[in-house]
Structure 1
Amino acid sequence: MRKVLLLVCCISGLALQCVNSRLCSTNSKPYDLFGTKTLYENVAGDLPNQRARAPKRCSPIFVYGLIRHGARYPGNDAVIELRKLKELTKSINVTGRATLCKKDLEAIRNWKIWTDEYNDSNLTAYGANEMRQLALRLQQFLPEILSAGTPASKYRFTSTESTRTIDSMEAFVESLSQGSFRDEIKNFTEIVTEEIDPINDENCNRYVREVDDNDNITEEYDKFVEGPIVTQMSRGIARRLGVPSSMITNDVVNRLYDDGCYSEQWVTGKNAPWCNVFSKKDLKLMEYGSDVEDYPERGYKFPVTYQQNCFLSKEIVNMVKKAGDDDLREKEQNVLARFRFAHTSNIVTLAANLNLYSDEPGPTADAFYSQQNRAFRMSYFSPSAANLVFVLYRCEIGKRTRYTVQVYWNEKLLKSYPACPSATHRARGMCNLETWLWQYRSFVAGSPTECNQEEICA
């Protein structure tokens, strides 16, 4: 009878606790959100088709995309942590009372280290495919701009010097171009070294002083991991593995989550055996903890965090402004598409600087239950292959020409934000360019209120 109960538990479509107290994982992933290590496919939106994207008589004339690299391998230090997890497998069920069922315990015992030092933070095959597929979807969305017939000189591609961003850029460009055009378009790609990269945190002395070197920066996170809810979670993990509670310290919990669970998922795209030691609530708790940790360094808590993105904000706003200026377009060779390949901080601080999400109070140590619908959520903000895309349209209305802007965040249309308070067509998020530029006047070159990178970071 006990065997029958165990079998029913293991083949059930739900993670049930059976009469014999054995817990079995499901075949599907218990939870999809892992902060910045969330897979893009789990949170991405759906770009509209050509006809649905804008009203009639409106044509796209410029696109700017800021794109985070695709899913990558962990850094070299993860190999050390993975070896420690391998040692932990030798202690599985030493108490003889493990509540995970036999198949999950065996999967953990038989688990093998899946990476080595040679993969140090490099783009995975899965991550390269994320880039290719994103390029194809953007091409289908904006064929007037991103078609193979467009001269290569109309494109600009820039990457930071990290191998993972360079490889992401190359995969994106490869998917976007064909034949001899692929070789030609490479003449318009550029790698910016970190020393001169204007969107690198280390170049901002004020950020280093107020945030990086701030001894109190982890205060909320420290309170969170030392709180009763995390202690309770650790005890639950110990029971599932059948080990003494003293073995499951905060360091071990982080190792199980970071290196055992989501890092392997990022590489393979599949659920990892170590993920099964966490309940769904546990995984939500760990995701929340990562937001508590990230908020001071990437959210609204310290203004310099996002204000230092002055350069990038100005680049985007002024390129959109130039593309919407008939005189400039006639006098100068106009670029139709600009893509930058960078990192999660670039995505999130740009969004904050442009006020694309609410600046309501960020996540705190004791607000897990009340902040399930929080505004600051890195899983949705910056998964692998995260992107912010700005599209400028020219609309012919009678004898008048009007320019409008759409903004997409991870392929989701933003229909209302402070710079777009009264969209011309709300369902399509068509923001009047003049209103948009006025709201972002601190990023317009020559404006009396133009932001200054050097002053911000002094």
Structure 2
Amino acid sequence: MKFLTLTVLVCFYVKNVLTSECYWNTECKYNFFGSKTPYENVRGDIRDSVVRTEGCEAISIWVIMRHGKRNPGQIFARYIQHILKYKDFIVSSYEVGNSSMCAQDIENIKNWNVDLTMLSKPNEMAEEGYQELLRIGNRINEAFPELLKELQKKDHLFLPGFGQRLKESAKAFIKGLNQNLTLENDTYDYQIVAPYSTCGKYQVKVRRNPDVYQEEEVYKNTADYINMKERIIRKLGLSFTFSNQDITAIYDLCRYTSDGISNKPCPWCAVFSTEDLQVLEYIDDLRHYYRNGYGVSQYSQRLGQMPLADLLRKFEQAKNRKGKKIVSYFTHATMMDMILVVLNLYKDTNPLTGAHRDINRKWRTSFLSTFTSNMIAVLNRCSKPGQDEYFYNVAFYWNEKPLLDLCNRGVCSWQEFEDIFKPFLNTTITEFCEFKWKNID
């Protein structure tokens, strides 16, 4: 705790003694970019986090995780290409004395070249995303060496949802386990990995309903958001105003090209102050809240129960010595958000709204549904000295950190685990969804 306090004070001191705020040498950069946050910026380490109790051994691991860092989608890639045309205007504004940007920040933007692969291959997984999955596989393997030693085909299940980046994520994770394992055939069990993707009612009334983004649009008309845009224009010294689309494009350029593993931030992030980035982060929080989260709880509650019912079934099988040693599903941020809603985690007392940004809100996509965000559950078999009868507990982790708000600081007795998860076994979605959505994207 003392170290944390000292770090904060040092960061505050550095910020105030500089004659102007320069991004390039700021020690405490704001690295939280909503759902596009690099996993490395927020993760824990399962090797350190894993609960080790005398008399207990791990007998099964169940993992569900979002795909690794990817390239922007096709539309957003076009927006980024458009905004890159403004680079010369930004540099020229500084050279004639209109900009308050720092010299080194301008030089870094001037010399920066975009990775054309990022723009020409929309939605494909980036190299950093591959490394994110590879490394988490390494860490899980190191955390549970006895359980995962010499896995046979009957011992594992690796199942990605539809899409190349999910398959590549699964392959990277498997490689990280350092064993000669194979990915299952292309049989997509949407009921577990992504039940929302084939749920017609959800796709029509939520996913493709523009009203879902109403609070986001409300927020873009508040003083909080408008002041952010004005600060950027004044800082750059431009004679024209950026559109909301332009601001989003610069933000995407910043967050998609900031490398968490190599700790290399993108020079374009210098356009924003910390407060600007916090404003833009809230946009992502609103979007996820009303599309996947508590803002549409009637959908997220039902759909999010599907993978959690599978978790109980898989651990019941393992408890009866008929299960897998490791089960891993690969999905999207939508599924991760829905799981949080089902477990009633990170729920704010008051709903998030566009009218007001609560800086102390619990729903933060930068920590909940980042690239490679994950939930890990570990089934432990325990015994007491001199007794032949076993008892069991389940430890939970989110992004490799203990999920402290569940049971006893993330560790549930078997009875507690059953009490929470057993109601999910009765969940069905066929009638709820009304019809099957076939246009999977």
Other-structure match for 1:300: 294
- Mapped partners of 2:208, 2:168: distance in 1: 32
What is the 5 A alignment of 1:135-154? 135-147=137-149, 149-154=150-155
* Residues 285 and 364 in structure 2, CA contact (< 8 A), matched pair in contact too: yes
- Retained in 2: the 8 A contact 1:105–1:241? no
Q: What's the CA shift string for 1:294-319, capped at 9, x where partnerless? A: 21011112221331133212111211
The reply on whether 1:128 has 2:121 as its aligned counterpart is no
**TM-score (norm. length: structure 1):** 0.83
| Paired position in structure 2 for 1:97 | 98
Q: Deviations over 1:7-59 (max 9, x none)?
A: xxxxx9537663xxx65323346211001111111111232559x72321111
* Larger displacement relative to structure 2 (339-348 or 392-401): 392-401
Q: Which runs of 5+ in 2 are unaligned?
A: 1-12, 435-441
Corresponding residue number in structure 2 for 1:251: 245
2:345 and 2:159 map into 1 onto residues whose CA distance is 23
2:75 maps to amino acid: D
Query: Retained in 1: the 8 A contact 2:159–2:188?
Result: no
Secondary structure at the counterpart of residue 116 of structure 2:
coil
Aligned length: 413
Query: Partners of 1:195 and 1:58 in 2: how far apart?
Result: 34
Question: Partner letter of residue 71 of structure 1?
Answer: K
The 1-side partners of 2:247 and 2:29 are apart by 17
Say what the alpha-carbon RMSD is for the aligned residues: 2.5
Q: Which has the higher contact order (CA 8 A, sep 6+)?
A: 2
Aligned with residue 281 of structure 2, among 281, 287, 294: 287
CA displacement at 1:342 relative to structure 2? 1.3
* Structure 1: unaligned runs, 5 residues or longer: 1-11, 445-449
| 2:220 matches 1:225 | yes
CA-to-aligned-CA distance 1:64-102 (integer Å, 9 cap, x gap) = 000211112223334422321221122225474211122
Per the alignment, in what secondary structure is the counterpart of residue 338 of structure 1? strand
Q: Deviations over 1:304-344 (max 9, x none)?
A: 133113321211121122222x3xx3xxx431110011111
Counterpart residue number, 1:316: 311
- Find the partner of 1:77 among 50, 53, 75: 75
Q: Determine if the alignment matches structure 1 residue 86 to structure 2 residue 75.
A: no
Q: How far does residue 200 in structure 1 lie from its aligned partner after superposition?
A: 4.3
> In 1, are the aligned partners of 2:45 and 2:401 still within 8 Å (CA)?
yes
User: CA contact under 8 A between 2:108 and 2:267: conserved in structure 1?
Assistant: yes
User: Quick one: distance in 1 between partners of 2:398 and 2:132?
Assistant: 16
The answer for the alignment partner of 1:354 in structure 2 is 343
For 1:59, the aligned partner's letter is E
Does the 8 Å CA contact 1:16/1:23 hold for their aligned counterparts? Answer: no
2:258 is matched with 265
- Which structure is larger by alpha-carbon Rg, 1 or 2? 1
Displacement of 1:106? 3.0
User: Do the aligned residues in 2 keep the contact of 1:309 with 1:350 (CA within 8 Å)?
Assistant: yes
Query: Judging changes above 3 Å, is the alpha-carbon distance between structure 1 residues 138 and 99 closer, same or farther for their aligned structure 2 residues?
Result: same
| 1:259-291 superposed Cα distances (whole Å, 9 cap, x missing partner) | x21111159752112110100111111111210
1:81 partner letter: Y
8 Å contact from structure 1 (residues 29, 271) kept in 2:
no
Q: Identify if the C-alpha distance between structure 1 residues 36 and 215 changes in structure 2 by more than 3 Å, giving closer, same or farther.
A: closer
1:390 to 363, 377, 395: 377
1:12-411 to 2 correspondence within 5 Å? 14=15, 18=19, 23-27=21-25, 28=27, 30-49=29-48, 53-92=51-90, 93-94=92-93, 96-116=97-117, 117-147=119-149, 149-178=150-179, 182=180, 185-186=181-182, 189-193=184-188, 199-244=194-239, 246-258=240-252, 260-266=253-259, 270-302=264-296, 303-324=298-319, 326=320, 329=321, 333-358=322-347, 360-368=349-357, 371-397=358-384, 398-411=387-400
Structure 2 Cα separation of the partners of residues 43 and 381 of structure 1 = 9
Report the counterpart of residue 429 of structure 2 in structure 1.
453
Residue 15 of structure 1 contacts residue 25 of structure 1 at CA under 8 Å; is this kept in 2?
Answer: no
Q: Is the 8 A contact 1:71 1:385 kept in 2?
A: yes
Q: 1:438 maps to what in 2?
A: 419
